[in-house]
Structure 1
Amino acid sequence: MTILVKAVRLLGVSLLALNMQMSCAAEAPPQGNLLIAGGAIRADNTVVWQKLVELAGGQGARIAVMPSAAGNPERSGKNLAATLNKYGASAFVVPVAVRFKDRNYQRDAEDETLARAIREAGGVYFVGGDQGYITKALVRPDGSRTAVLQAIWDVYNKGGVIGGTSAGAAIMSSTMYYEAKTVLGTLAAGVNDGRELAPGLGFVGTDVFVDQHLLARGRFARMLPAMLKKNYKLGLGIDENTAMVINSKREVEIIGYQGALLLDLTQATTNGDVKEFNLTNARISYLDHGDRYNLATGQYTPSADKIDGKLDASKPYLNEQVYSADILGHNTVLVMMEKLITNARTEAIGVATAMPGEPQDDLGFEFKLTRDARSAGYESATADAYSILNLRMDVRPVHITRPWYR
């Protein structure tokens, strides 16, 4: 790619971001709800689908299905609409997608008939796939909204629900991952606007970063450099087969199979003398299904089964070292958090390293979790489940000496 092409691409991304920020600033706060799912939502996840239908107006609610991100938008749109209809909706597919065969997505995105149908619906739902195709289909080259995207915003502004899974969750914040490296590669090499990061659609506002497939893929770690790069203080990462509902009062409710991680960088700092990624005094919390958290006030409300389950730090269940050689593994960070919050010991260490032969395979990172006076835990009375608040998290680079076989 030539220097000129790169410059044009970066300029286009910058204009897109500026235009979208100006559009958001000019509007009154939306009156609707967001339903943000972390990917891999099963058709039998009744609580998530019923909640979407309820927020869209209840039985018979019209819901516009947006298959823009899908590899096969015709099939994905049809299947998603059928799932919603099984739960009582009256769903219809909006055929605006770069990958739709024999259609012109730019023309379709400006179609006033499609825009009117969306505007008359009670909800809109984005299927998963490639989030870059959503913004390509719905945002004009100058960064302004197409007729279809404006109609989606109209639904949200008037009190409807905007939902999405995976790629459909990534576009919810004003910044999204686009051409992302591996989680460890992102920590090692950093992020750049216009390549790893690009403007999202901004439904959740400009103050919260959203990511998905969180616990299943260890993506909490890649949220950190993105948040630092774009100056986000709060980040919400939702796990698979799980969703978070955010209402107009900025109250978050977790529903579905598992939960979400809340990252708070309000008091976090970095050491500029260390060239590799590092972070001191970040805060990490786990919100379990049924929990509520107010983004505006910071107030946490435990689920009904945890109301009387606040843990007594003076009566720990465990007294053992908590360590993992693969903190980016499936659910590993959550397991470490659960063991730490019920432990007589106050620190847990997790390490992330590259596979031999990967770029910068001699660079790893140590994640230290600390339970302190601000930390708290809640235990379910009906299941082996916990909610965990305000563990301190520090990240530092470590250099790896590979064994003799190299």
Structure 2
Amino acid sequence: MSTITTRRTLKHSLLALSLGGALISSQAAFADSPGALIIAGGFLQESHQDIFQAVINPIDKSAADIRLGVVPAATGNISGNYGKIVEAFTRLGLAEENIRLLPLAVNDDKRTEDVDESEWVDNGRDEELAASIDELDAIWFLGGDQTRITAVLLEEDGSDTPVLAAIRDFHSRGGVLAGTSAGAAIMSSSMLAGGDSQGALFKGFSDDYESMNNQEFGPAVVRPGLGFFEAGLIDQHFDRKARLGRLLAVMLEHEDGQPLGIGIDEGTALIVDNDEWQVAGSGGITLVDTSEATRPSSGFPISVENVRLGYLLPGDRYLPESGEYHVREGAYETSGNEYFDVPVSLQSGLLSANRNLQELIGFDLLDNSATEQVTSLLVGDENQGLRIVFSQDEQTQGYWSQDMTLDRYSFENVRMALEPLRVELHTP
């Protein structure tokens, strides 16, 4: 797309919100409401300063006076990953002495010879630590294995430890909670702990979870989360690990499924504040809505029609109560203004163009007048397969913008269907 003049400006585009001080309203104005949630999809880099800044913005203090607590339980490299968080926030003006490592862990960090962090496993019950939570302004949950966070903060019967109860009270009174990767997974009431899309769509669920290896393959593993985010089911590392199928399977078939799923890309954060959702970072956020989905058949492989997908980029805003999208400044509608008119092939993976969701929907479907649907194929074991169909109707809209010369697409109300197939492969 070489020129912006071929597009029609969105009538409902809003002024862009900076990713600095204006990104979230002042905490002081909402002290009687729950604090902001900054839920990051993992693999953060130094360049993602806007995500770290989003933790600071709601707090009605100078950066130098902000007190940050860090929960390290998920990581096996406590010293190293804590140090990186200290570096990230001191670059933004926090005083190092105001950043505090909260002694909550399950495993020992072998890099620290003078302390055995595995001895912190029962510290969720430490009343003194619980009382100290009230001294903080924000809490950051490190990434790693999310089951370690819940192991140290939940009792065996699923009830809150004193420290978790204190964190809930802290958040209910305006305290900011943030986390990345595993620290994002724990945010919803149900926690996606393991499995991949293929395993979940074809095989369903498993109770077995032995190590972080289970995060990468097999049936979905669902465990209780901490429930700070109640609007839907969170999944993370969403783009690179292709977790759309995993999230959808849990939403449709698991007893703890919910009709709204939120998939957060790596290097990206969902920012929840004052009943409004925004995006920070370099990727996007996928919204999966099954409220009007229909099931031609139950069980596995998953069969479903009329799932609705949305995708948000930095600068977009979403109001979950009304379902309204407010699109970033400078974005243009694709419907009726399609740039491309090219036939599309079956999307089959590594040798197909536009392999990720945003590119497939944007380039091949919404900004292409030659087709009303695009199709992908997933092949499982035992001759099982799934045809995955993305289509558009009168409710669908795409939004195109450019970052320098990079084309970016967000969208709302794209239809998705899964159709089980029997696959037979033959060599010539």
The question of 1:53 aligning with 2:56 is answered yes
1:244-284 residue CA offsets vs partner (Å, 9 max, x unmatched): 101132x1101110111010111001122675211100001
In structure 2, C-alpha distance between the alignment counterparts of 1:373 and 1:103, rounded to whole Å? 56
1:214 partner SS = coil
2:375 partner SS = strand
Residue 7 (structure 1) aligns with: none
Residue 24 (structure 1) aligns with: none
Residue 40 (structure 1) aligns with: 43
373, 384, 388: which one aligns with 1:347: 373
How many residues are paired up?
A: 366
2:416 partner SS = strand
Range with greater deviation from structure 2 (154-163 or 126-135)? 154-163
Residue 362 (structure 1) aligns with: 383
1:385 partner SS = strand
- C-alpha displacement of 1:120: 1.4
Alignment of 1:250-289 (within 5 A): 251-272=276-297, 275-289=300-314
Residue 356 (structure 2) aligns with: 332
- C-alpha displacement of 1:102: 5.1
Alignment of 1:79-118 (within 5 A): 79-89=84-94, 90-100=98-108, 101=116, 103-118=118-133
- Cα 1:328–1:47, aligned 2, differ >3 Å: closer, same or farther? farther
In structure 1, C-alpha distance between the alignment counterparts of 2:59 and 2:160, rounded to whole Å? 23
- Cα 1:193–1:209, aligned 2, differ >3 Å: closer, same or farther? farther
- Cα 1:273–1:104, aligned 2, differ >3 Å: closer, same or farther? closer
Larger fraction in helix = 1
Query: Aligned letter for 1:68?
Result: A
- Cα 1:104–1:248, aligned 2, differ >3 Å: closer, same or farther? farther
The question of 1:399 aligning with 2:422 is answered yes
Percent identity over paired residues: 31
In structure 2, C-alpha distance between the alignment counterparts of 1:150 and 1:59, rounded to whole Å? 27
In structure 1, C-alpha distance between the alignment counterparts of 2:178 and 2:196, rounded to whole Å? 26
TM-score (norm 2): 0.80
- Cα 1:45–1:102, aligned 2, differ >3 Å: closer, same or farther? closer
In structure 1, C-alpha distance between the alignment counterparts of 2:117 and 2:187, rounded to whole Å? 29
TM-score (norm 1): 0.85
Residue 137 (structure 1) aligns with: 152
Residue 233 (structure 1) aligns with: 259
- C-alpha displacement of 1:224: 0.5
1:110-148 residue CA offsets vs partner (Å, 9 max, x unmatched): 223322332211111101000000000111112111121
In structure 1, C-alpha distance between the alignment counterparts of 2:402 and 2:57, rounded to whole Å? 28
Residue 248 (structure 1) aligns with: 274
Residue 372 (structure 1) aligns with: 393
1:313-338 residue CA offsets vs partner (Å, 9 max, x unmatched): 23321222333113999952221110
In structure 2, C-alpha distance between the alignment counterparts of 1:274 and 1:158, rounded to whole Å? 43
- C-alpha displacement of 1:181: 2.5
- Cα 1:165–1:42, aligned 2, differ >3 Å: closer, same or farther? same
CA contact (8 A) 2:349 2:355 kept: no
- Cα 1:241–1:129, aligned 2, differ >3 Å: closer, same or farther? same
Range with greater deviation from structure 2 (71-80 or 238-247)? 71-80
In structure 1, C-alpha distance between the alignment counterparts of 2:228 and 2:183, rounded to whole Å? 11
Residue 64 (structure 1) aligns with: 69
Query: Aligned letter for 2:88?
Result: T
Residue 199 (structure 2) aligns with: 185
Query: Aligned letter for 1:64?
Result: G
CA contact (8 A) 1:218 1:331 kept: no
- C-alpha displacement of 1:192: 4.5
CA contact (8 A) 1:268 1:281 kept: yes
CA contact (8 A) 1:81 1:93 kept: no
187, 200, 218: which one aligns with 2:225: 200
1:75-131 residue CA offsets vs partner (Å, 9 max, x unmatched): 322332232222222321101100142553343222233223322111111010000
Residue 234 (structure 2) aligns with: 210
- Cα 1:217–1:361, aligned 2, differ >3 Å: closer, same or farther? farther
The question of 1:175 aligning with 2:166 is answered no
1:367 partner SS = strand
Q: Segments of 4+ in structure 1 off by > 6 A?
A: 327-330
- Cα 1:30–1:69, aligned 2, differ >3 Å: closer, same or farther? farther
CA contact (8 A) 1:293 1:300 kept: yes
